[in-house]
């Protein structure tokens, strides 16, 4: 009975806690802050829409690193989606994406 009460207490605390998914890392020697968006495997992607600071964090971000679920990458649907996203629109050229110096 004590185990059950302990588990229920833990679950109620975990559910009522204001757990953070978006963390800002700043401090000594850092020119710009970094952001960590964690534990998104447990939540649907739509959770990002409920995080008020997400748009600001994304606008201040120069690079994004992530992880992928390798088993999902082997599915035909994922491969087809990636192939489509890797192609530029028909009206876009490399020359239109780069400055003249970069293009040369």
In a domain? residue 6:
no
**What confidence tens digit (pLDDT) does each residue in 33-82 have?**
888 877 656 667 677 777 788 888 888 888 877 777 778 788 898 889 88
In a domain? residue 3:
no
In a domain? residue 33:
yes
Question: Number of structural domains, the chain?
Answer: 1
CA distances (Å), origin 78, targets 3, 24, 50, 55: 43, 31, 26, 27
The boundaries of the domain holding residue 24 are 20-103
In a domain? residue 91:
yes
pLDDT of res. 13: 60
Question: Which pTM was predicted?
Answer: 0.46
At a CB cut-off of 8 Å and minimum separation 6, what does 22 contact? Answer: 35, 36, 37, 51, 53, 54, 57
In a domain? residue 63:
yes
């Amino acid at each position: 009975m004590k185990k059950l009460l302990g588990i229920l207490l833990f679950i109620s605390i975990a559910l009522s806690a204001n757990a953070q998914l978006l963390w800002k890392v700043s401090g000594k020697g850092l020119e710009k802050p970094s952001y960590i968006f964690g534990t998104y495997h447990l939540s649907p992607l739509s959770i990002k829409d409920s995080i008020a600071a997400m748009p600001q964090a994304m606008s201040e971000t120069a690079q994004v690193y992530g992880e992928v679920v390798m088993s999902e990458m082997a599915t035909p649907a994922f491969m087809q989606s990636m192939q489509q996203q890797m192609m530029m629109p028909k009206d876009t050229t490399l020359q239109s994406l780069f400055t003249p110096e970069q293009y040369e």
